Structure 1
Amino acid sequence: MTTTYYAEETRPRRRRGRRVLITLLVMLIVIAGILFAGDRVAANFAEKKIADQVSQEVAAQKVQSAPPEVSVGGFPFLTQVLAGNYKEISIVMRDVKGDVDGNAVNLPRLDVVARDVAASLDTLRSGQGDVIAKTVDGTGTITYESVTALIDQPGLKLSEREGKLVASAPIEVLGQRFTVNGAAELAVEGRQIKIKLKDATADGLPAVPLAQQVVANFIQRISISVDVPALPFNMELKKVDATTEGLAVTATAKDVPLNG
Protein backbone atom coordinates (compact mmCIF):
# COMPACT_ATOMS: atom_id res chain seq x y z
CA MET A 1 0.00 0.00 0.00
CA THR A 2 2.87 2.37 0.79
CA THR A 3 4.41 1.95 -2.66
CA THR A 4 1.08 2.53 -4.38
CA TYR A 5 0.40 5.67 -2.29
CA TYR A 6 3.85 7.11 -3.18
CA ALA A 7 3.30 6.58 -6.91
CA GLU A 8 -0.13 8.23 -6.80
CA GLU A 9 1.33 11.30 -5.05
CA THR A 10 4.25 11.82 -7.51
CA ARG A 11 2.17 11.80 -10.71
CA PRO A 12 0.32 15.09 -10.01
CA ARG A 13 3.62 16.73 -9.01
CA ARG A 14 5.22 15.72 -12.31
CA ARG A 15 2.25 17.04 -14.26
CA ARG A 16 2.43 20.35 -12.39
CA GLY A 17 6.19 20.58 -13.13
CA ARG A 18 5.60 20.02 -16.82
CA ARG A 19 2.86 22.66 -16.90
CA VAL A 20 5.18 25.19 -15.25
CA LEU A 21 7.95 24.39 -17.73
CA ILE A 22 5.59 24.73 -20.71
CA THR A 23 4.30 28.03 -19.32
CA LEU A 24 7.84 29.36 -18.94
CA LEU A 25 8.71 28.31 -22.49
CA VAL A 26 5.60 30.04 -23.87
CA MET A 27 6.46 33.19 -21.91
CA LEU A 28 10.02 33.14 -23.24
CA ILE A 29 8.76 32.75 -26.79
CA VAL A 30 6.33 35.65 -26.34
CA ILE A 31 9.05 37.86 -24.80
CA ALA A 32 11.47 36.94 -27.61
CA GLY A 33 8.81 37.84 -30.16
CA ILE A 34 8.18 41.20 -28.50
CA LEU A 35 11.93 41.94 -28.38
CA PHE A 36 12.35 40.94 -32.03
CA ALA A 37 9.42 43.13 -33.09
CA GLY A 38 10.85 46.03 -31.10
CA ASP A 39 14.25 45.44 -32.67
CA ARG A 40 12.76 45.59 -36.17
CA VAL A 41 10.87 48.78 -35.33
CA ALA A 42 14.13 50.32 -34.11
CA ALA A 43 15.94 49.18 -37.26
CA ASN A 44 13.26 50.59 -39.56
CA PHE A 45 13.27 53.88 -37.66
CA ALA A 46 17.07 54.20 -37.88
CA GLU A 47 17.21 53.20 -41.55
CA LYS A 48 14.55 55.73 -42.56
CA LYS A 49 16.07 58.59 -40.58
CA ILE A 50 19.62 57.91 -41.72
CA ALA A 51 18.44 57.45 -45.33
CA ASP A 52 16.83 60.90 -45.17
CA GLN A 53 20.04 62.42 -43.80
CA VAL A 54 22.20 60.69 -46.42
CA SER A 55 19.86 61.73 -49.26
CA GLN A 56 20.11 65.37 -48.20
CA GLU A 57 23.90 65.17 -47.99
CA VAL A 58 24.20 63.53 -51.43
CA ALA A 59 21.95 66.20 -52.91
CA ALA A 60 24.02 68.95 -51.25
CA GLN A 61 27.18 67.51 -52.82
CA LYS A 62 25.44 67.58 -56.23
CA VAL A 63 26.12 63.92 -56.85
CA GLN A 64 23.80 62.72 -59.60
CA SER A 65 22.26 59.39 -58.68
CA ALA A 66 19.02 57.62 -57.84
CA PRO A 67 17.87 58.01 -54.20
CA PRO A 68 20.27 56.07 -51.96
CA GLU A 69 19.15 52.80 -50.37
CA VAL A 70 20.22 52.51 -46.72
CA SER A 71 20.32 49.46 -44.46
CA VAL A 72 21.68 49.18 -40.93
CA GLY A 73 23.80 46.13 -40.10
CA GLY A 74 24.69 44.46 -36.84
CA PHE A 75 22.45 42.90 -34.20
CA PRO A 76 20.66 43.78 -32.04
CA PHE A 77 19.50 47.07 -33.55
CA LEU A 78 17.68 48.36 -30.50
CA THR A 79 20.85 48.65 -28.43
CA GLN A 80 22.58 50.44 -31.31
CA VAL A 81 19.75 52.96 -31.58
CA LEU A 82 19.73 53.62 -27.84
CA ALA A 83 23.53 53.89 -27.72
CA GLY A 84 23.63 56.11 -30.79
CA ASN A 85 26.39 54.03 -32.37
CA TYR A 86 26.00 51.75 -35.37
CA LYS A 87 28.48 49.04 -36.33
CA GLU A 88 27.84 49.19 -40.06
CA ILE A 89 25.57 51.07 -42.42
CA SER A 90 25.31 50.03 -46.06
CA ILE A 91 24.41 52.62 -48.68
CA VAL A 92 23.62 51.58 -52.25
CA MET A 93 23.65 54.34 -54.89
CA ARG A 94 22.51 53.48 -58.38
CA ASP A 95 23.07 55.36 -61.63
CA VAL A 96 25.84 57.62 -60.37
CA LYS A 97 26.61 59.99 -63.24
CA GLY A 98 29.36 62.42 -64.09
CA ASP A 99 30.46 64.45 -67.08
CA VAL A 100 33.93 64.62 -68.63
CA ASP A 101 34.31 67.03 -71.54
CA GLY A 102 30.69 66.49 -72.53
CA ASN A 103 30.90 62.71 -72.24
CA ALA A 104 28.95 60.81 -69.60
CA VAL A 105 30.91 58.66 -67.16
CA ASN A 106 28.55 56.28 -65.39
CA LEU A 107 28.75 54.02 -62.38
CA PRO A 108 25.67 51.79 -62.59
CA ARG A 109 26.06 51.01 -58.89
CA LEU A 110 28.15 52.41 -56.06
CA ASP A 111 28.23 50.39 -52.84
CA VAL A 112 29.21 52.40 -49.77
CA VAL A 113 29.84 50.92 -46.32
CA ALA A 114 30.05 53.29 -43.35
CA ARG A 115 31.47 51.77 -40.17
CA ASP A 116 31.33 52.82 -36.53
CA VAL A 117 28.70 55.49 -37.15
CA ALA A 118 27.82 57.89 -34.32
CA ALA A 119 24.22 59.12 -34.57
CA SER A 120 22.42 59.96 -31.35
CA LEU A 121 18.73 59.25 -30.95
CA ASP A 122 18.06 63.00 -30.56
CA THR A 123 19.87 63.67 -33.84
CA LEU A 124 17.77 61.10 -35.68
CA ARG A 125 14.56 62.41 -34.15
CA SER A 126 15.19 66.10 -34.72
CA GLY A 127 17.42 66.01 -37.79
CA GLN A 128 19.76 68.37 -35.96
CA GLY A 129 23.31 67.35 -35.08
CA ASP A 130 26.05 65.29 -36.65
CA VAL A 131 26.03 61.76 -38.05
CA ILE A 132 29.71 60.79 -38.26
CA ALA A 133 31.28 57.61 -39.65
CA LYS A 134 34.79 56.61 -38.61
CA THR A 135 35.43 55.08 -42.01
CA VAL A 136 33.59 55.02 -45.33
CA ASP A 137 34.54 52.62 -48.13
CA GLY A 138 33.03 52.62 -51.59
CA THR A 139 33.23 50.25 -54.53
CA GLY A 140 31.81 50.77 -58.00
CA THR A 141 32.40 49.93 -61.64
CA ILE A 142 32.83 52.31 -64.57
CA THR A 143 31.50 50.62 -67.67
CA TYR A 144 33.82 50.01 -70.60
CA GLU A 145 31.25 51.78 -72.74
CA SER A 146 31.86 54.98 -70.75
CA VAL A 147 35.63 54.62 -71.12
CA THR A 148 35.63 53.91 -74.86
CA ALA A 149 33.43 56.98 -75.41
CA LEU A 150 36.36 59.09 -74.16
CA ILE A 151 38.85 57.58 -76.61
CA ASP A 152 39.13 58.57 -80.27
CA GLN A 153 39.53 55.09 -81.68
CA PRO A 154 36.79 53.64 -83.94
CA GLY A 155 35.86 50.04 -83.19
CA LEU A 156 37.74 50.01 -79.89
CA LYS A 157 36.88 47.19 -77.52
CA LEU A 158 38.04 47.04 -73.91
CA SER A 159 37.88 43.90 -71.80
CA GLU A 160 39.56 41.99 -69.00
CA ARG A 161 41.91 39.07 -69.46
CA GLU A 162 43.63 37.37 -66.54
CA GLY A 163 43.06 40.43 -64.37
CA LYS A 164 44.48 42.88 -66.90
CA LEU A 165 42.86 45.48 -69.12
CA VAL A 166 43.21 44.61 -72.81
CA ALA A 167 42.31 46.71 -75.83
CA SER A 168 41.65 45.75 -79.42
CA ALA A 169 40.59 47.69 -82.49
CA PRO A 170 40.69 47.43 -86.27
CA ILE A 171 43.30 49.50 -88.10
CA GLU A 172 44.04 50.02 -91.77
CA VAL A 173 47.56 49.96 -93.21
CA LEU A 174 48.31 50.18 -96.97
CA GLY A 175 44.71 49.38 -97.83
CA GLN A 176 44.60 46.29 -95.62
CA ARG A 177 42.73 45.83 -92.32
CA PHE A 178 44.35 44.35 -89.25
CA THR A 179 43.32 43.91 -85.64
CA VAL A 180 45.70 45.44 -83.15
CA ASN A 181 45.73 44.16 -79.55
CA GLY A 182 47.44 45.53 -76.46
CA ALA A 183 47.55 45.27 -72.67
CA ALA A 184 47.35 48.31 -70.39
CA GLU A 185 48.52 49.24 -66.92
CA LEU A 186 46.06 50.89 -64.53
CA ALA A 187 46.83 53.41 -61.80
CA VAL A 188 45.06 56.01 -59.66
CA GLU A 189 46.15 59.64 -59.42
CA GLY A 190 43.85 61.99 -57.53
CA ARG A 191 40.39 61.75 -59.10
CA GLN A 192 41.76 60.20 -62.27
CA ILE A 193 42.26 56.68 -63.53
CA LYS A 194 45.43 56.42 -65.58
CA ILE A 195 45.33 53.97 -68.49
CA LYS A 196 48.72 53.32 -70.05
CA LEU A 197 48.96 50.91 -72.96
CA LYS A 198 52.33 49.20 -72.66
CA ASP A 199 52.57 47.41 -75.98
CA ALA A 200 50.44 46.52 -78.96
CA THR A 201 50.76 44.00 -81.76
CA ALA A 202 48.82 42.96 -84.83
CA ASP A 203 49.19 39.59 -86.53
CA GLY A 204 50.35 39.84 -90.13
CA LEU A 205 51.17 43.56 -89.89
CA PRO A 206 53.91 44.43 -92.42
CA ALA A 207 57.24 45.53 -90.94
CA VAL A 208 57.26 48.97 -92.52
CA PRO A 209 57.60 52.41 -90.86
CA LEU A 210 54.02 53.37 -91.74
CA ALA A 211 52.63 50.31 -89.97
CA GLN A 212 54.75 50.98 -86.89
CA GLN A 213 53.53 54.58 -86.81
CA VAL A 214 49.88 53.44 -86.94
CA VAL A 215 50.48 51.14 -83.96
CA ALA A 216 52.30 53.92 -82.10
CA ASN A 217 49.34 56.23 -82.68
CA PHE A 218 47.01 53.53 -81.39
CA ILE A 219 49.04 53.19 -78.18
CA GLN A 220 48.98 56.96 -77.69
CA ARG A 221 45.21 57.26 -78.17
CA ILE A 222 44.45 54.44 -75.72
CA SER A 223 46.78 55.83 -73.04
CA ILE A 224 44.51 58.39 -71.38
CA SER A 225 43.38 59.69 -68.00
CA VAL A 226 39.73 59.14 -67.05
CA ASP A 227 38.13 61.58 -64.61
CA VAL A 228 35.90 59.78 -62.14
CA PRO A 229 32.59 61.49 -61.23
CA ALA A 230 32.57 63.33 -57.91
CA LEU A 231 32.09 60.69 -55.23
CA PRO A 232 29.89 61.28 -52.19
CA PHE A 233 31.31 61.83 -48.70
CA ASN A 234 34.59 63.13 -50.14
CA MET A 235 35.81 59.62 -50.81
CA GLU A 236 39.21 59.42 -52.49
CA LEU A 237 40.14 56.89 -55.15
CA LYS A 238 42.56 54.27 -53.88
CA LYS A 239 42.52 51.43 -56.38
CA VAL A 240 41.32 50.40 -59.83
CA ASP A 241 41.08 46.91 -61.34
CA ALA A 242 39.91 45.50 -64.65
CA THR A 243 36.87 43.23 -64.38
CA THR A 244 34.52 41.61 -66.86
CA GLU A 245 31.97 44.43 -66.32
CA GLY A 246 34.34 47.39 -66.45
CA LEU A 247 36.90 49.25 -64.35
CA ALA A 248 36.22 48.50 -60.69
CA VAL A 249 37.21 51.41 -58.45
CA THR A 250 37.74 51.45 -54.68
CA ALA A 251 37.48 54.68 -52.69
CA THR A 252 37.70 55.53 -48.99
CA ALA A 253 37.45 58.34 -46.45
CA LYS A 254 37.78 58.75 -42.66
CA ASP A 255 35.79 60.69 -40.06
CA VAL A 256 33.05 61.44 -42.55
CA PRO A 257 29.88 63.43 -41.83
CA LEU A 258 27.00 61.58 -43.48
CA ASN A 259 24.61 64.48 -43.05
CA GLY A 260 26.73 67.50 -43.91
Structure 2
Amino acid sequence: MAEVYGSAKPRKRWGRRLLITFLVLLILLAVALVVADRVAASYAERVIGDRVSDQLANQKATAEKPDVTVEGVPFLTQVASGDYQEIKILLNNFTAPTGTADQKIKMPTLDIRAKDVDAPIDTLRNGNGDIKAGTVTGTGTIAYADLATLIGQKGLTVGEKDGKLVGTAPVEALGQTFNVTGTANLEVTDGVVKVRFADVTADGLPNIPLVRNLIDNYVQQLSYDLAVPALPLNLKVQKVEPRADGLVVTTGANNVSLSSGGL
Protein backbone atom coordinates (compact mmCIF):
# COMPACT_ATOMS: atom_id res chain seq x y z
CA MET A 1 0.00 0.00 0.00
CA ALA A 2 2.87 2.39 0.77
CA GLU A 3 4.11 2.07 -2.83
CA VAL A 4 0.65 3.00 -4.19
CA TYR A 5 0.42 6.19 -2.12
CA GLY A 6 4.00 7.05 -2.97
CA SER A 7 3.28 6.94 -6.70
CA ALA A 8 0.08 9.07 -6.43
CA LYS A 9 1.72 12.10 -4.82
CA PRO A 10 4.13 12.86 -7.68
CA ARG A 11 1.24 12.64 -10.15
CA LYS A 12 -0.75 15.20 -8.10
CA ARG A 13 2.23 17.52 -7.90
CA TRP A 14 2.81 17.18 -11.66
CA GLY A 15 -0.85 17.94 -12.39
CA ARG A 16 -0.74 21.00 -10.15
CA ARG A 17 2.40 22.28 -11.86
CA LEU A 18 0.83 21.75 -15.28
CA LEU A 19 -2.26 23.73 -14.21
CA ILE A 20 -0.13 26.59 -12.83
CA THR A 21 1.93 26.67 -16.03
CA PHE A 22 -1.23 26.79 -18.10
CA LEU A 23 -2.65 29.67 -16.03
CA VAL A 24 0.61 31.60 -16.29
CA LEU A 25 0.57 31.17 -20.07
CA LEU A 26 -3.02 32.43 -20.20
CA ILE A 27 -2.09 35.48 -18.15
CA LEU A 28 0.92 36.22 -20.35
CA LEU A 29 -1.23 35.83 -23.46
CA ALA A 30 -3.86 38.18 -22.03
CA VAL A 31 -1.20 40.77 -21.16
CA ALA A 32 0.29 40.47 -24.66
CA LEU A 33 -3.14 41.00 -26.22
CA VAL A 34 -3.78 44.05 -24.03
CA VAL A 35 -0.40 45.54 -24.96
CA ALA A 36 -0.97 44.83 -28.66
CA ASP A 37 -4.45 46.29 -28.39
CA ARG A 38 -3.11 49.51 -26.85
CA VAL A 39 -0.26 49.80 -29.37
CA ALA A 40 -2.70 49.45 -32.26
CA ALA A 41 -5.07 52.00 -30.70
CA SER A 42 -2.22 54.48 -30.17
CA TYR A 43 -1.19 54.15 -33.80
CA ALA A 44 -4.73 54.83 -35.05
CA GLU A 45 -5.07 57.78 -32.67
CA ARG A 46 -1.82 59.27 -33.96
CA VAL A 47 -2.86 58.91 -37.61
CA ILE A 48 -6.27 60.50 -37.03
CA GLY A 49 -4.71 63.28 -34.92
CA ASP A 50 -2.29 64.11 -37.75
CA ARG A 51 -5.13 64.35 -40.25
CA VAL A 52 -7.16 66.64 -38.01
CA SER A 53 -4.07 68.84 -37.57
CA ASP A 54 -3.85 69.10 -41.37
CA GLN A 55 -7.46 70.30 -41.51
CA LEU A 56 -6.80 72.95 -38.85
CA ALA A 57 -3.84 74.26 -40.83
CA ASN A 58 -5.90 74.40 -44.04
CA GLN A 59 -8.57 76.46 -42.25
CA LYS A 60 -6.01 78.81 -40.67
CA ALA A 61 -7.21 77.65 -37.26
CA THR A 62 -4.94 76.81 -34.36
CA ALA A 63 -5.09 74.48 -31.37
CA GLU A 64 -2.85 72.33 -29.29
CA LYS A 65 -1.98 68.90 -30.64
CA PRO A 66 -5.27 66.98 -31.02
CA ASP A 67 -5.91 64.64 -28.09
CA VAL A 68 -7.43 61.59 -29.81
CA THR A 69 -8.92 58.61 -28.00
CA VAL A 70 -10.40 55.56 -29.70
CA GLU A 71 -13.24 54.33 -27.51
CA GLY A 72 -14.39 50.74 -27.21
CA VAL A 73 -12.59 47.49 -26.36
CA PRO A 74 -11.21 45.24 -27.58
CA PHE A 75 -9.64 47.56 -30.11
CA LEU A 76 -8.08 44.88 -32.31
CA THR A 77 -11.49 43.58 -33.36
CA GLN A 78 -12.32 47.11 -34.51
CA VAL A 79 -9.06 47.26 -36.47
CA ALA A 80 -9.82 43.96 -38.16
CA SER A 81 -13.27 45.12 -39.28
CA GLY A 82 -12.29 48.74 -39.95
CA ASP A 83 -15.34 49.91 -38.00
CA TYR A 84 -14.85 51.98 -34.85
CA GLN A 85 -17.53 52.68 -32.25
CA GLU A 86 -16.47 56.19 -31.29
CA ILE A 87 -13.44 58.42 -31.57
CA LYS A 88 -13.03 61.36 -29.19
CA ILE A 89 -11.00 64.36 -30.37
CA LEU A 90 -10.19 67.18 -27.96
CA LEU A 91 -8.85 70.44 -29.39
CA ASN A 92 -7.57 72.57 -26.53
CA ASN A 93 -7.11 76.35 -26.96
CA PHE A 94 -8.96 76.32 -30.27
CA THR A 95 -8.84 79.62 -32.21
CA ALA A 96 -10.22 80.35 -35.68
CA PRO A 97 -10.86 83.48 -37.77
CA THR A 98 -14.48 84.56 -38.20
CA GLY A 99 -13.97 86.17 -41.57
CA THR A 100 -14.82 89.61 -40.14
CA ALA A 101 -11.83 91.99 -39.92
CA ASP A 102 -9.31 90.44 -37.53
CA GLN A 103 -11.89 88.87 -35.24
CA LYS A 104 -11.34 85.36 -33.97
CA ILE A 105 -13.44 82.88 -32.08
CA LYS A 106 -11.75 81.25 -29.12
CA MET A 107 -12.80 78.12 -27.27
CA PRO A 108 -10.81 76.66 -24.35
CA THR A 109 -11.79 73.19 -25.58
CA LEU A 110 -13.59 71.96 -28.68
CA ASP A 111 -14.85 68.48 -27.75
CA ILE A 112 -15.49 66.43 -30.90
CA ARG A 113 -17.07 62.96 -30.99
CA ALA A 114 -17.00 60.91 -34.21
CA LYS A 115 -19.20 57.81 -34.29
CA ASP A 116 -19.55 54.89 -36.70
CA VAL A 117 -16.10 55.51 -38.13
CA ASP A 118 -14.97 53.54 -41.18
CA ALA A 119 -11.16 53.34 -41.24
CA PRO A 120 -9.77 50.40 -43.27
CA ILE A 121 -6.52 49.05 -41.89
CA ASP A 122 -4.69 49.72 -45.21
CA THR A 123 -5.70 53.39 -44.99
CA LEU A 124 -4.25 53.67 -41.48
CA ARG A 125 -1.09 51.84 -42.53
CA ASN A 126 -0.14 53.67 -45.74
CA GLY A 127 -2.14 56.93 -45.49
CA ASN A 128 -3.97 56.36 -48.76
CA GLY A 129 -7.75 56.34 -48.90
CA ASP A 130 -10.36 57.98 -46.74
CA ILE A 131 -11.45 57.71 -43.11
CA LYS A 132 -15.13 58.49 -42.71
CA ALA A 133 -17.47 59.00 -39.76
CA GLY A 134 -21.22 58.47 -39.93
CA THR A 135 -21.90 61.30 -37.49
CA VAL A 136 -19.75 63.92 -35.81
CA THR A 137 -20.76 66.25 -32.98
CA GLY A 138 -18.76 69.00 -31.36
CA THR A 139 -19.23 71.17 -28.29
CA GLY A 140 -17.30 74.28 -27.30
CA THR A 141 -17.76 77.30 -25.06
CA ILE A 142 -17.18 80.96 -25.93
CA ALA A 143 -16.35 83.04 -22.85
CA TYR A 144 -18.69 85.97 -22.29
CA ALA A 145 -15.79 88.43 -22.21
CA ASP A 146 -14.75 87.21 -25.68
CA LEU A 147 -18.34 87.42 -26.94
CA ALA A 148 -18.59 91.04 -25.72
CA THR A 149 -15.34 91.82 -27.54
CA LEU A 150 -16.73 90.33 -30.75
CA ILE A 151 -19.89 92.48 -30.49
CA GLY A 152 -17.57 95.45 -30.09
CA GLN A 153 -19.66 97.97 -28.11
CA LYS A 154 -17.72 99.95 -25.51
CA GLY A 155 -18.55 99.01 -21.93
CA LEU A 156 -20.77 96.07 -22.88
CA THR A 157 -20.80 93.07 -20.57
CA VAL A 158 -22.77 89.90 -21.23
CA GLY A 159 -23.66 86.94 -19.08
CA GLU A 160 -26.29 84.34 -18.29
CA LYS A 161 -29.36 84.81 -16.12
CA ASP A 162 -32.19 82.30 -15.83
CA GLY A 163 -30.99 80.53 -18.97
CA LYS A 164 -30.98 83.73 -21.03
CA LEU A 165 -28.17 85.82 -22.49
CA VAL A 166 -28.25 89.22 -20.78
CA GLY A 167 -26.27 92.29 -21.74
CA THR A 168 -25.55 95.48 -19.81
CA ALA A 169 -23.95 98.65 -21.19
CA PRO A 170 -23.63 102.35 -20.29
CA VAL A 171 -25.65 104.86 -22.33
CA GLU A 172 -25.39 108.65 -22.13
CA ALA A 173 -28.70 110.56 -22.15
CA LEU A 174 -29.76 113.96 -20.85
CA GLY A 175 -26.22 114.67 -19.74
CA GLN A 176 -26.10 111.55 -17.57
CA THR A 177 -24.85 107.97 -17.90
CA PHE A 178 -27.34 105.16 -17.40
CA ASN A 179 -26.75 101.41 -17.36
CA VAL A 180 -29.19 99.71 -19.70
CA THR A 181 -29.92 95.99 -19.53
CA GLY A 182 -31.52 93.77 -22.15
CA THR A 183 -32.15 90.11 -22.90
CA ALA A 184 -30.79 88.71 -26.15
CA ASN A 185 -32.65 86.48 -28.53
CA LEU A 186 -30.36 83.88 -30.10
CA GLU A 187 -31.05 82.28 -33.47
CA VAL A 188 -28.90 80.05 -35.66
CA THR A 189 -29.32 80.47 -39.43
CA ASP A 190 -26.99 78.77 -41.92
CA GLY A 191 -24.18 78.56 -39.40
CA VAL A 192 -24.57 82.21 -38.30
CA VAL A 193 -25.55 82.98 -34.71
CA LYS A 194 -27.82 86.04 -34.70
CA VAL A 195 -27.73 88.01 -31.43
CA ARG A 196 -30.62 90.46 -31.04
CA PHE A 197 -31.25 92.37 -27.80
CA ALA A 198 -34.80 93.22 -26.68
CA ASP A 199 -36.70 94.24 -23.55
CA VAL A 200 -34.08 96.86 -22.74
CA THR A 201 -34.58 98.71 -19.45
CA ALA A 202 -32.63 101.26 -17.42
CA ASP A 203 -33.24 102.38 -13.85
CA GLY A 204 -33.89 106.12 -13.62
CA LEU A 205 -34.06 106.68 -17.37
CA PRO A 206 -37.09 108.86 -18.31
CA ASN A 207 -39.63 107.10 -20.51
CA ILE A 208 -39.98 109.87 -23.09
CA PRO A 209 -39.86 109.58 -26.92
CA LEU A 210 -36.46 111.25 -27.26
CA VAL A 211 -34.83 108.91 -24.77
CA ARG A 212 -36.69 105.89 -26.11
CA ASN A 213 -35.41 106.58 -29.64
CA LEU A 214 -31.90 106.89 -28.27
CA ILE A 215 -32.18 103.52 -26.57
CA ASP A 216 -33.72 101.88 -29.64
CA ASN A 217 -30.87 103.13 -31.80
CA TYR A 218 -28.33 101.84 -29.30
CA VAL A 219 -30.00 98.44 -29.18
CA GLN A 220 -29.69 98.17 -32.94
CA GLN A 221 -25.95 98.73 -32.57
CA LEU A 222 -25.84 95.77 -30.21
CA SER A 223 -27.29 93.48 -32.86
CA TYR A 224 -24.56 91.10 -33.96
CA ASP A 225 -24.19 88.25 -36.40
CA LEU A 226 -21.59 85.80 -35.12
CA ALA A 227 -20.24 84.09 -38.21
CA VAL A 228 -18.79 80.92 -36.77
CA PRO A 229 -15.67 80.05 -38.79
CA ALA A 230 -15.13 76.89 -40.75
CA LEU A 231 -14.69 74.21 -38.13
CA PRO A 232 -12.70 71.01 -38.54
CA LEU A 233 -14.53 67.97 -39.89
CA ASN A 234 -17.14 70.18 -41.61
CA LEU A 235 -18.92 70.81 -38.32
CA LYS A 236 -21.82 73.28 -38.55
CA VAL A 237 -23.43 75.20 -35.70
CA GLN A 238 -26.76 73.66 -34.69
CA LYS A 239 -27.61 75.53 -31.50
CA VAL A 240 -26.22 77.88 -28.86
CA GLU A 241 -27.08 77.93 -25.19
CA PRO A 242 -26.14 80.48 -22.51
CA ARG A 243 -24.69 78.82 -19.42
CA ALA A 244 -22.91 80.07 -16.34
CA ASP A 245 -19.40 79.68 -17.80
CA GLY A 246 -20.12 80.97 -21.30
CA LEU A 247 -22.07 80.56 -24.52
CA VAL A 248 -22.10 76.85 -25.33
CA VAL A 249 -21.97 76.12 -29.06
CA THR A 250 -23.18 72.72 -30.31
CA THR A 251 -22.16 71.61 -33.79
CA GLY A 252 -22.77 68.56 -35.93
CA ALA A 253 -22.28 66.92 -39.32
CA ASN A 254 -23.03 63.64 -41.11
CA ASN A 255 -20.90 61.45 -43.37
CA VAL A 256 -17.71 63.33 -42.55
CA SER A 257 -14.22 62.70 -43.83
CA LEU A 258 -11.52 62.61 -41.16
CA SER A 259 -8.90 62.90 -43.90
CA SER A 260 -7.19 66.14 -44.78
CA GLY A 261 -8.56 65.98 -48.29
CA GLY A 262 -12.15 65.74 -47.16
CA LEU A 263 -12.82 69.44 -46.60
Contact kept in structure 2, 1:152 and 1:221, CA below 8 Å: no
Moved more, 167-176 or 61-70: 61-70
Instruction: Give RMSD over aligned pairs.
Output: 2.3
Instruction: Answer yes or no: is the 8 Å Cα contact 2:78–2:84 preserved in 1.
Output: yes
CA distance in 1, matches of 2:191, 2:169: 27
CA distance in 2, matches of 1:45, 1:102: 37
Residue number in structure 2 paired with 1:89: 87
**2:45 — aligned with what?**
47
Distance 1:27 1:153 in 2: 70
Q: Aligned residue for 2:97?
A: 98
What pairs with 1:71-90 in structure 2 (closer than 5 Å)? 71-90=69-88
Which residue pairs with 1:107 in the alignment?
Answer: 107
Letter of the structure 2 residue corresponding to residue 72 of structure 1: V
Give the drift of 1:16: 4.9
Q: Secondary structure at the match of 2:204?
A: coil
Query: Which residue is 1:159 aligned to?
Result: 159
Counterpart in 2 of 1:27? 25
The residue that corresponds to 2:35 in the other structure is: 37
Over 3 Å counting, the alpha-carbon distance change for 1:13 and 1:203 in structure 2 is: farther
Q: CA–CA distance in 1 between the matches of 2:84 and 2:152?
A: 47
Match of 2:56? 58
Aligned-partner SS, 2:48: helix
Alignment of 1:121-160 (within 5 A): 121-160=121-160
Q: Do the aligned residues in 2 keep the contact of 1:132 with 1:255 (CA within 8 Å)?
A: yes
- Encode CA deviations 1:121-151: one digit per residue, 9 max, x unaligned: 1111111111111111111122223322233
Contact map agreement 1:192 1:226 (CA 8 A) in 2 = yes
Q: Using the TM superposition, name which of 20-29 and 90-99 deviates more.
A: 20-29
Aligned-pair distance for 1:210?
3.0
1:235 is matched by which residue type in structure 2?
L
Give the structure 2 partner of residue 240 of structure 1: 240
What's 1:183 paired with?
Answer: 183
SS at match of 2:44: helix
| Partners of 1:148 and 1:157 within 8 A in 2 | yes
Sort the Cα spacing of 1:207 and 1:54 in 2 relative to 1 into closer, same or farther, 3 A: closer
The one-character-per-residue Cα deviations of 1:11-63 (angstroms, maximum 9, x if unpaired) are: 66655554444333322221111111111111111111222222223333443
State the AA in 2 paired with 1:110.
L
Aligned identity (percent) is 46
Is the contact made by 1:135 and 1:256 (CA closer than 8 Å) also made in structure 2? Answer: yes
* TM-score w.r.t. length of structure 1: 0.88
Question: TM (normalized to structure 2)?
Answer: 0.87
Letter in 2 for 1:150: L
| 1:150 to 1:45, Cα distance in 2 relative to 1, 3 A | closer
Name the structure 1 match of 2:174. Answer: 174
Preserved contact between residue 60 and residue 97 of structure 2 (Cα < 8 Å): no
**Residue pair 2:96, 2:105 contacting (<8 A) in 1 also:** yes
